[in-house]
């Protein structure tokens, strides 16, 4: 932190300016001029620290006399997180010391200048967050317990409850940050693009699409469309890095094709891009009618459970039908023949995809047979229904309560889409769908997305379809959140505010809460707990080594030092998938521009991007980030 005093006007009145870091962590120690101050911990009173003359530039000359020790810093007592204000004052004092060869002149009035500066305090460590989501209908209640781990950083815990009258409300509120992940490459850009379509389709069908929401969603669609064209190959296909990749990718090209087609009612889409992508897929259709797997996905989690020719062909066929290709189209006819000959597969994920594709094609008997076989493997409990893959799924990276692995979310979402795929949805299909929706809603993260990428896209598409079929403008619901200590929060939801996010802080952490809904209709309730823990020391998956130059914090290093990061993958996979190395600088430091050019990817990486990160609740990056892959 630095202070600067100067003459504020022609009469020589002092004026003070202060420069300080954007944010500090609660245990940081900052240097200011010739003094030293730290955020106090556990101190019952405010603390004052005097900053000595090295932090104040005394401007010499007549009428500019300022005593070098005339400014003070006042800090509040123990603060672990949040925003605090600090006050710095300078006072012109009479002194016998000469300014050069002249005696300093002290103005008769306005001897003091004061600045008040906000300083953001962060708890430090690694942010962890948990969310408990519930779709409560009619008269319903749930007991929810907020618990903290043993290694939580003191004072970092915070929690709140949100209430929305619409199952799509959370995704609508956070459409630009459904996942805590970087965006920018040809794969992940589509995760931001596609949900805007599904949400607009739902709001349009339910009559809730306001001009403000439409403009916001269409803005995202327009920017996402233009960005995606960067990753188009000359042959019409798409890949993560466009022409930098040797070939396009079958799955991504089909995903882009159907999404561009579905976006046509909302933004201008050049038909040439659709024809180019469709032509590329047609050229890669095999004699059997199936589609050839071409290219590589940098983010192999994005394509979900698609691992073989049959599941890929089912995905491409469904994409063509969602695009609106007629059943008489030779490409579609041959693709459906391929799927029909492969419909006896034992893989549950492939069965779900096949059931959805056959439903879109109007092949009711094939769809029903597949859904009946899937029902035999369902998991039913507490009025909820979902599916688990036979292959043991990897645990989800997200620390959310009761959150299932992303593969199971995607599998279950495809079953839901299959039940809703016919033009006229039966009462039996809708009853089964409601049980699936109750389970899916519990898997949502605090931003309305899910654990990973493709499960977020598919699940939001399925939920939007269900919400459109079950929408009702009537009904009011009251929600009460209470605790044994008599803490009580009440919310009222009706049609006029069903898309309005209602939020209240929860003070008892740890604590036990009861959420109770009464009335007619449904509400989506999320209880979100956030806290910080020390960085993990385990190197089971990645080995990270940090070096500084100089090694010790010498006087010269206080203003400038070099930082070297060495990361190596130590896991069991043959390739890491996508990797992000984030270097969080000490408070008050910024990267030296001259050193950024020295950061270079190795031969296995595609891109390195230096960016600023947003401090606070959302771990999502502030700007678009290109993907990188490090085998």
pLDDT tens-place string over residues 250-284: 999 999 999 999 999 999 999 999 999 999 999 99
Which of the residue ranges 31-40, 205-214, 466-475, 485-494 would you say has the lowest mean pLDDT? Answer: 31-40
Indicate the angle between helix axes 454-470 and 189-205, nearest 10 degrees: 0
The more confidently predicted of residues 599 and 155 is 155
- Number of C-beta neighbours around residue 387 at 10 A: 25
Judge whether 351 and 342 are in contact, CB under 8 Å.
Answer: no
Residue 361 reports pLDDT greater than 80: yes
* d(C-alpha 444, C-alpha 456), whole Å: 9
Residue 43 reports pLDDT greater than 70: no
Q: Measured at the alpha carbon of residue 386, what is the angle toward residues 384 and 390, in degrees to the nearest 5?
A: 150
pLDDT tens per residue, range 367-388: 999 999 999 999 999 899 999 8
Which of the residue ranges 120-124, 136-140, 283-287, 584-588 would you say has the lowest mean pLDDT? Answer: 584-588
- Reference 31, options 530, 557, 414; nearest CA is 557
> What per-residue confidence (pLDDT) applies to 41?
34
pLDDT tens per residue, range 85-116: 766 666 666 667 766 676 666 666 655 667 67
> What per-residue confidence (pLDDT) applies to 159?
95
The more confidently predicted of residues 64 and 173 is 173
The pTM of this model reads: 0.78
- Reference 449, options 187, 168, 200, 179; nearest CA is 179
Which of the residue ranges 82-91, 586-595, 596-605, 606-615 would you say has the lowest mean pLDDT? Answer: 606-615
- Reference 74, options 87, 59, 89; nearest CA is 87
DSSP line for 447-498: TS--SSSHHHHHHHHHHHHHHHHH--S---EEEEEE-TT--EEEEEE-GGGT
User: Alpha helices of 174-288 — where are they, by DSSP H?
Assistant: 189-205, 211-228, 250-263, 271-283
Q: Measured at the alpha carbon of residue 629, what is the angle toward residues 627 and 630, in degrees to the nearest 5?
A: 145
The more confidently predicted of residues 296 and 245 is 245
Beta bridge partners of 258: none
The proportion of the chain whose per-residue pLDDT surpasses 70, expressed as a percent, equals 70
> What per-residue confidence (pLDDT) applies to 441?
93
Q: What is the dihedral of CA 134, 137, 142, 147, to 10 degrees?
A: 20
In the chain the first and final C-alpha atoms are separated, in Å, by: 42
């Amino acid at each position: 932190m630095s202070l600067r005093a100067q003459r504020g006007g022609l009469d020589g009145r002092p004026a003070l300016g202060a420069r300080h870091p954007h944010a500090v962590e609660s245990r940081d120690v900052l240097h200011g001029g010739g003094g030293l101050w730290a955020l106090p911990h556990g101190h019952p009173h405010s603390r004052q620290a005097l900053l000595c003359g090295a932090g104040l530039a005394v401007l010499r000359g007549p009428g500019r006399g300022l005593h070098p020790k005339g400014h003070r810093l006042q800090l509040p007592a123990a603060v672990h997180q949040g925003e605090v204000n600090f006050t710095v004052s300078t006072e012109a004092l009479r002194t016998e010391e000469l300014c050069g060869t002249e005696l300093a002149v002290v103005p008769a009035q306005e001897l003091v200048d004061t600045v008040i500066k906000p300083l953001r305090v962060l708890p430090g460590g690694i942010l962890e967050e948990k969310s408990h989501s519930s779709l409560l209908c009619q008269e319903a209640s749930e007991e929810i317990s907020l618990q903290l781990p043993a290694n939580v950083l003191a004072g970092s815990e915070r929690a709140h409850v949100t209430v929305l009258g619409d199952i799509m409300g959370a995704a609508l509120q956070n459409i630009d940050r459904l996942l805590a992940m970087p965006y920018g490459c040809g794969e992940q850009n589509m995760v931001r693009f596609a949900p805007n379509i599904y949400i607009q389709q739902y709001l349009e069908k339910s009559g809730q699409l306001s001009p403000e929401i439409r403009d916001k969603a269409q803005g995202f669609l327009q920017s996402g469309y233009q960005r995606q064209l960067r990753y188009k190959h000359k042959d019409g296909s798409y890949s993560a890095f466009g022409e930098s990749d040797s070939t396009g990718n079958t799955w991504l090209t089909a995903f882009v094709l159907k999404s561009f087609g579905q976006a046509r009612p909302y933004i201008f889409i050049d038909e040439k891009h659709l024809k180019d992508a469709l032509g590329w897929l047609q050229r890669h259709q095999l004699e059997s009618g199936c589609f050839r797997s071409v290219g590589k996905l940098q983010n192999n989690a994005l394509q979900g459970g698609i691992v073989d020719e049959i599941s890929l062909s089912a995905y491409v066929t469904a994409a063509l039908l969602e695009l609106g290709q007629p059943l008489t189209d030779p490409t579609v006819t041959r693709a459906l023949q391929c799927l029909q000959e492969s419909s006896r597969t034992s893989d549950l994920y492939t069965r779900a995809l096949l059931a959805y594709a056959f439903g879109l094609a109007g092949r009711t008997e094939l769809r029903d047979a597949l859904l009946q076989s899937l029902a035999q493997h369902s998991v039913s409990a507490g009025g909820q229904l979902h599916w688990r893959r036979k292959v043991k799924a990897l645990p989800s990276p997200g620390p959310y309560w009761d959150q299932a692995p992303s593969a199971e979310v995607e599998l279950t979402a495809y079953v839901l889409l299959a039940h809703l795929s016919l033009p006229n949805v039966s009462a039996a299909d809708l009853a089964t769908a409601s049980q699936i929706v109750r389970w899916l809603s519990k898997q949502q993260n605090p931003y309305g997305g899910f654990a990973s990428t493709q499960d977020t896209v598919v699940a939001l598409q399925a939920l939007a379809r269900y919400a459109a079929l079950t929408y009702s403008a009537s009904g009011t619901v009251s929600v009460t959140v209470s605790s044994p200590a008599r803490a009580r929060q009440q919310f009222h939801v009706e049609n006029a505010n069903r898309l309005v996010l209602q939020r209240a802080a929860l003070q008892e952490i740890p604590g036990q809460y009861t959420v109770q809904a009464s009335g007619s209709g449904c509400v989506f309730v999320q209880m979100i707990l956030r806290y910080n823990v020390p960085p993990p020391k385990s190197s089971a998956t990645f080995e990270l080594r940090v070096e500084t130059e100089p090694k010790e914090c010498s006087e010269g290093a206080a203003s400038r030092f070099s930082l070297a990061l060495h990361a190596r993958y130590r896991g069991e996979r043959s390739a890491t998938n996508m990797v992000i190395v984030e270097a969080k600088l000490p408070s008050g430091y910024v990267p030296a521009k001259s050193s950024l050019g020295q950061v270079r990817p190795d031969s296995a990486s595609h891109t390195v991007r230096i960016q600023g990160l947003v401090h606070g609740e959302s771990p999502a990056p502030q700007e678009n980030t290109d993907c990188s892959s490090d085998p």
